[in-house]
Structure 1
Amino acid sequence: MKPRHDIYATVTDQIVAAIEAGAGNWRMPWHHSGAPVMRPTSVAGRRYSGINRLVLWATADACGYASGTWATYQQWQTSGAQVRKGQVGTHVILWKKVERGDAAAHVGADGEGKARFFARSFVVFNRDQVDGAEDAPEKDVAPVSTSIGDALAFLEGVGVLVEYGLHDAYYRADLDKVFMPERMAFDHDLDLVSTLAHEVTQVDM
């Protein structure tokens, strides 16, 4: 009889392997071409989270994948793509909740059903491991929140010019100007604000 697959051991092994490979270089709060890798999503556009995000980060870094899109073998086929022969997939976990009262729910001593969680393992492949995958359409950028907008307006109004669109963040004293990457280069808007605040403090008012 084939032994049952140990989901936890598999995921743990993947994380340990990434740790043993080294932490790598410190990353700036903004990213260049590697930004999608830091925000792994399914081919349907659903963003991976929790331990799955960590596992997919580690795998993408170890294998040198430039894409942040992942899907199962069947999902790639459905989308018209084909996983290349010999490619090795990555295990991710899906937690499913069995609601109270469900026939499959655990029954307690009082005879009432109690909700339980079941972990299921799926093997996914990165877009760089398949042929025929189409580029996903670009999504609209979420509007900036009021608090973030107010913070940016304050920092941009302290008396120094700010130019966006560069690959790095820095202040040039000879031009008296702060240069910043675009908003989409940051994982979070708060990273954008903190980076801009840091550069503005370099200005000799």
Structure 2
Amino acid sequence: MTTDRNSQARTVNDIYERVTNQIIAAIEAGAGEYRMPWHHDGSAITTPVNVASRKTYRGVNVITLWAAAHAADYPAGIWGTYRQWHELGAQVRKGERGQLVVFWKTSDHSADTDRQDDDEDHDKSARRLFARGYTVFNCAQVDGYTPPEMPVLPRAERIEHAERFCAALSIDVRHGGSQACYIPSRDHVQMPEFACFRDAVAYYAVLLHECGHASGAKHRLDRDLAGRFGSAAYAMEECTVELLSAMICADLNLSIEPRPDHARYIASWLEVLRSDKRAIFTAASKAQEIADWMHARQGDACQNDVRGAA
């Protein structure tokens, strides 16, 4: 039993190491242009989808697949294992290298379940967690498969959906000044005037970022927002809401572009990732939790808008 547990621990640590190193390498590769692995073109690479289940990937898998797609310039975010492609009559081309994705096998007294995003309760004695790594290939790496045409709504309609999506969060947003921020003591988001942004997409990407911070209020998701600039806690919170903004923008088919103000965060993000191999998993898991909370706040009409834009 001890040997099995040690083997499982090595497997989990190896997965943490491999995924974290990939994200670090992607951040370092784009640092000169302030480009992060989660920047994406909303008209092409949206939320990654499994070709067999048609389900979207979640948590850290979204980030790793975005990074891989960006590095290889894949035009679509459709992925599958070797076996899944084979069962569809397609063939992974010889010499193609796959991408690691992670599923967590959780076992408790009632049931066994697979989940993609890391469970913060994994240390509880009643629950055992096993990391399972799978290799997936993008649709651009296979022969015998043609990606379906995915209709993309006109940009103006996507912007309208973004406005409705943010309004449905019921977070107090006020405009004025030159800085975007969330003020916990007053529980409101402060945004510069719309005209201060280079375009509408940039405005909504920043607004979602700040609403991500607001989701941490005690009466919402109750995260610790007390970290000061330069601290590991602050860096983790910033990384979390950056990932959240990218996730929601992907759902809305809005692109995420590099911003020069990322320069102040890059060094701290890299420091946190290098010192804690679980950090990107935790940040992605929290970002997914916020994204789920935001989607849960939407009415049926807005949810249909989001699904129709995907």
User: TM-score, normalization: structure 2?
Assistant: 0.39
Percent identity, aligned pairs only, is 40
> Which structure's relative contact order is higher, taking Cα pairs within 8 Å and 6+ residues apart?
2
Matches within 5 A, 1:1-205: 6-23=14-31, 24=33, 31=41, 33-34=43-44, 37-44=45-52, 45-100=54-109, 114-136=126-148, 148=164, 187-188=250-251
CA contact (8 A) 1:33 1:66 kept: no
Secondary structure at 1:19 match in 2: helix
Deviation at 1:102, TM superposition (A): 6.3
Deviation at 1:88, TM superposition (A): 0.6
Deviation at 1:188, TM superposition (A): 4.5
Give the gaps of 5 or more residues in structure 2: 1-6, 113-124, 154-159, 168-197, 201-248, 256-310
Letter in 2 for 1:48: Y
CA contact (8 A) 2:96 2:141 kept: yes
Deviation at 1:10, TM superposition (A): 1.3
> Alignment RMSD, CA only?
3.8
CA–CA distance in structure 2, aligned partners of residues 33 and 26 of structure 1: 18
CA–CA distance in structure 2, aligned partners of residues 26 and 101 of structure 1: 44
The 1:32–1:91 alpha-carbon spacing in structure 2 relative to 1, beyond 3 Å, is closer
Deviates more, 1:74-83 or 1:130-139: 130-139
CA contact (8 A) 1:99 1:115 kept: yes
CA–CA distance in structure 2, aligned partners of residues 63 and 95 of structure 1: 27
CA–CA distance in structure 2, aligned partners of residues 188 and 39 of structure 1: 7
CA–CA distance in structure 1, aligned partners of residues 93 and 142 of structure 2: 5
CA contact (8 A) 2:47 2:251 kept: no
Q: Please state which structure has a larger fraction of its residues in strand.
A: 1
Letter in 2 for 1:40: P
CA–CA distance in structure 1, aligned partners of residues 72 and 17 of structure 2: 21
CA–CA distance in structure 1, aligned partners of residues 75 and 34 of structure 2: 17
CA contact (8 A) 2:19 2:64 kept: yes
CA–CA distance in structure 2, aligned partners of residues 10 and 93 of structure 1: 11
Deviation at 1:30, TM superposition (A): 9.1
User: TM-score, normalization: structure 1?
Assistant: 0.57
Letter in 1 for 2:78: T
CA–CA distance in structure 2, aligned partners of residues 69 and 187 of structure 1: 14
Larger CA Rg, structure 1 vs 2: 1
CA–CA distance in structure 2, aligned partners of residues 76 and 135 of structure 1: 12
- Aligned residue pairs total 144
Letter in 2 for 1:59: A
